[in-house]
Amino acid sequence: MNRATALFISVNATPMNSHIQILDHQFRPFISASEIDKTVHTLAERISADYNTRNPLLCPVLTGSYLFAADLSRALSIPHEVQFVRYTSYDGLASTGTVQEVLPFDSHCTGRHVIIVEDVVDTGLSMQTMLHKLYALHPLSVAICSFFFKPDAFKGDFKIDYIGRNLTNDFIVGYGLDYNGAGRHYGEVYVIDD
């Protein structure tokens, strides 16, 4: 076991809190670190098999996917590169309906097999905007990998190629997901409980 693996296991081995308070809301335990780890490795195995000789470019969407993207990158068994992007539409507990382009896709995507790495796809509004911007750069192929997917909220007309877990419309925090900037650092996922 290398040092990075040992560190990953020790960080994720902490027990979940029974409830956490983030700003003005209570959250209860929802998904443990060990469940997250299993999901990440399952996704990494599928992507590694599908992109065996293609050296994909992972494009994690900041800020929510940073923990998932790091874990996924380490779990992949194939050569790949990483290029961060940032598009946002959330304020508080809900989407604003407007997508802000903060750190866009760039020419690194041209002629590449691109995998967009997301923390959660709910309505699909942000992803629809991102896809429009990305296709204008003429990638060889585009796939979407999202740790969470909310099918009941989804209004998009695109396919999500790799889904870690389906969710209801409940609001969650932890493992990169936040509530007004707080709660991203938890190694587990918590669901709103008030």
Task: Indicate which residues carry an active-site annotation.
Answer: 122
- Rounded distance, CA 124 to CA 156, Å? 5
Is the C-alpha dihedral spanning 48, 53, 55, 58 positive or negative?
A: negative
Strand pairing class (162-166; 85-91):
unpaired
Distance CA 151, CA 11 (A): 31
Instruction: Please count the CA atoms within 13 angstroms of the CA of 141 that sit on its side-chain side.
Output: 10
Give DSSP secondary structure letters for 118-133: EEEESS-HHHHHHHHH
